[in-house]
Structure 1
């Protein structure tokens, strides 16, 4: 992918330095290539390049990664280290999606075993409480067996007590239908035109994913939307009193010399979350920090721990618009899954920049791709962008490096994965489709409950309560309509 051998390493971006580091290792022709988070700092095209490289140039490799899309395309066997499994390890043959299915099955079996074991322990405890005679050999053996059962149940429960961060963003409750409106926005930085004639409207419930190579203008657009940068031309109109909460990938808001306690609760030993006081110890535990870590300085914490501090801060701020710039860096997969659910449930608007294609596909309701020359194109989802990207690559040729092209072409071949056509339903889409009937049923039940609340005679004379219940009913109806539309879209993709 390097086009000018005269470039010095110092002028390369972090992504290109990562490519260089991988190339240096491959020159040594290793029998096994060991990689720790190789997709960090790579943009999407760089990740596609790496996927193709691993499939064609590396005989064997072991990779540690939280990039689930990447794992789906390069792994043929997945191992998870987790104390919740007997022996602390679970492994599954196949791709990442196969691992998810087998993991869920294993956890269900483990839960069923725990229930059976708990019933046995309950019977033995009742027997012991009756004061049985343990003088006989048979009685002594049963007492010992009961003790072993109780110990085994304690061990299973201890393994099962795996924790995940409690992430839940707070909306301001604003009723505005339009939060931000950008008209014909243009911006040039360093003599490079990044945006030209961009039109964009952000509304509650809209979740916009941004795609583009490094330097294409994603951070510039975030700054424009946040109001920290002015456009060269055009206008950006914001709803009055618009509350914008932002996650910065550079983590500039963190002081490395400050203790974890002060980073989480700057003004005392408690924080106020949703009008309720929460002690800093409880708040820290919610983000998987131990009490003994509270006096540790931020600079000594891992990248993932620092990211959790920033997320904890964001949760304390009611927001109309969330702007997240690479929030997944250094987060483990369980935390990513909780973050996904929280973002999908956030009722305000979201603008998201991420290399995590799994998150992008799961959360985004719309994708905007920037080409770095002023062009901006909207797509329904990541899969549509990928398809258009492949088509452009075939037509234009040189827009994307050949390794990246190989990654896209290889990934869309029917033989790549029996039973799953990437042009039809992705793993997440298949999961959504399978659960859609139940999801719609629950949404319709919620809508019916909102309708009953509106018709309650007790609120007929209370205009404030009535207005709130009407707003809840409208939101419920909108969600039902959205789900039916999504269901039809998924059905259409399978034809």
Structure 2
């Protein structure tokens, strides 16, 4: 193993508040590290320090000579007017003197990552494709160590699976910040948690994330037991001191000094063992006993000429927790808008129970006014809130969601993504609900807050409709899974494993259909043609046809990807054009396979 980065006694403060102190940690070329910790523990700051973007207040970093270091920030920014291809060409400046070689590298990588349009402006990409392009920009620089800060942000579930696969075969070491527990389990071989609960300010374990969780529990239990044992010893020493111990002998002096050291250690242990946890999340149910809260029958909806789902039935009852799956653009948000009455179906009916109380968490966080203070966002009508019949001062209510008193007069727009999520959850908790609809509530929440959110939702007696890319939460909470594919199909599954198996089977069936179509086309060709020798031009055609098939298949994938673009979905005429292009591309692939088999059989 080769040491890539060595950090000694790193410290950093934000104003008067220390983020971390005395962090000493190293990273080698076998690194597959997940960096976790509560919101505000300094994960992103540490990543910027490792990347050389920020400087520590104290300590130093030593890097391997000529280390190629890549850094993927949370926000994806690209130069105005640049296409995807140009972004990757520019990223190689200094790597290749030859411009043609840089362009070829960019083309190859974009094709490998299945970009539908190499010449699309980077600024016009959807959030998921912007993230893919940002990752591609770092990959093309061929890093020895890649730092990724929340790389799954804006990726749908299929995008996260793609990134997992990419990292599992990565020829470079990486350190990533993530709150996605399945992603950490599948993509990393070491976990490091920044947390004041540990004597060194962090805890590191080599192995999968699930092993780290076990080791963390063991460590904290041992630390708590040490606190209890030390507290008993300190009590005895205090009683001895109170009896009037005189420091007249060397032995007495030593015992007094030792007692002082034990008291200091006990104070430190109590500080570290103090509950830190996540936000106190607990939704309020209305107590309704109705068996059917919402009934949808024969529901159909199309947008831009594209059928999202047809003759779809759904019954939401108390205790039901429905996980909603589907790639971006498949109709998840449209279905939610139908169920809450914001949009009318093309066919079918949605019938809510009388007086149904729905609480809706919107992914866009549009309900928040960025200019409003945190105080007013949490308590719009005064300095108190009423939660489950009890009045609580806004500072106490804020503390439940990990906000400090000095933050109360900050504008909401200055808060982090995780803090804004907690503001929305705090507001929704004040509303009694029969049906909770949560659209990506896990974005930016730390792992301890995710655990508490899961616990609260599992205890919620009403119905829950949950959209999240957090597979662990879906697995743990969902009593049913509903998957939309954006092609008119809506299917129920019992688990994520069943959904993934069905998805893989459908992909294999599509590949088999293409092979069968090409075989049928070959069989239909006149027998006399098969006996003719190839002409000179046909021989040249055979030599070039594999490349043509590859190009045609890339074009087919590109056209299919366009169907997931929200801008295309919103434009009926554009969607018709894309659908026609998909059909034409599919026919071209089938025809080329048939022609290839015909030429090969004659050759």
Q: Distance in 2 between matches of 1:259 and 1:5?
A: 43
Q: Distance in 1 between matches of 2:384 and 2:485?
A: 45
Query: Which protein, 1 or 2, shows the higher relative CO under an 8 Å CA cutoff with sep ≥ 6?
Result: 1
The answer on whether the counterparts of 1:33 and 1:58 sit within 8 Å (CA) in structure 2 is: no
Q: Distance in 1 between matches of 2:511 and 2:470?
A: 26
- Aligned residue number for residue 148 of structure 1: 261
Encode CA deviations 1:97-133: one digit per residue, 9 max, x unaligned: 1111111111121121111111111221222233323
Q: Distance in 2 between matches of 1:294 and 1:226?
A: 32
Check if 1:250 corresponds to 2:383. Answer: no
2:161 is paired with a residue whose SS is helix
Question: Equivalent residues in 2 for 1:129-140 (5 A)?
Answer: 129-140=242-253
- Aligned residue number for residue 57 of structure 1: 170
Check if 1:115 corresponds to 2:228. Answer: yes
- Residue 232 of structure 1 deviates from its aligned partner by 1.3
- TM, length-normalised to structure 1: 0.79
Match of 1:24 among 137, 149, 153: 137
- In structure 2, do the counterparts of structure 1 residues 227 and 130 end up closer, same or farther at CA, with 3 Å as the change threshold? farther
- Residue 398 of structure 1 deviates from its aligned partner by 9.7
- Aligned residue number for residue 182 of structure 2: 69
Match of 1:319 among 400, 410, 433: 433
- Aligned residue number for residue 44 of structure 2: none
Match of 1:86 among 171, 174, 199: 199
- TM, length-normalised to structure 2: 0.65
- Aligned residue number for residue 126 of structure 1: 239
Q: Distance in 2 between matches of 1:85 and 1:398?
A: 55
List gaps (5 residues or longer) in structure 2: 1-113, 514-552, 555-603
- Aligned residue number for residue 332 of structure 1: 446
Q: Distance in 1 between matches of 2:503 and 2:237?
A: 64
- Higher CA-based Rg: 2
2:313 is paired with a residue whose SS is strand
- In structure 2, do the counterparts of structure 1 residues 127 and 390 end up closer, same or farther at CA, with 3 Å as the change threshold? farther
Match of 2:383 among 249, 269, 272: 269
Q: Distance in 2 between matches of 1:306 and 1:235?
A: 35
1:251 is paired with a residue whose SS is coil
- Residue 144 of structure 1 deviates from its aligned partner by 1.8
Match of 1:197 among 296, 311, 325: 311
Q: Distance in 2 between matches of 1:326 and 1:128?
A: 58
Q: Distance in 1 between matches of 2:154 and 2:495?
A: 22
2:301 is paired with a residue whose SS is strand
More helix by share: 1
- Aligned residue number for residue 342 of structure 1: 456
Question: Equivalent residues in 2 for 1:424-435 (5 A)?
Answer: none
- Aligned residue number for residue 302 of structure 2: 188
Q: Give the superposed CA RMSD.
A: 1.6
The answer on whether the counterparts of 1:169 and 1:314 sit within 8 Å (CA) in structure 2 is: yes
- In structure 2, do the counterparts of structure 1 residues 223 and 33 end up closer, same or farther at CA, with 3 Å as the change threshold? same
- In structure 2, do the counterparts of structure 1 residues 378 and 141 end up closer, same or farther at CA, with 3 Å as the change threshold? same
- Residue 190 of structure 1 deviates from its aligned partner by 2.3
1:131 is paired with a residue whose SS is coil
2:335 is paired with a residue whose SS is helix
- Residue 392 of structure 1 deviates from its aligned partner by 2.4
The answer on whether the counterparts of 2:223 and 2:273 sit within 8 Å (CA) in structure 1 is: no
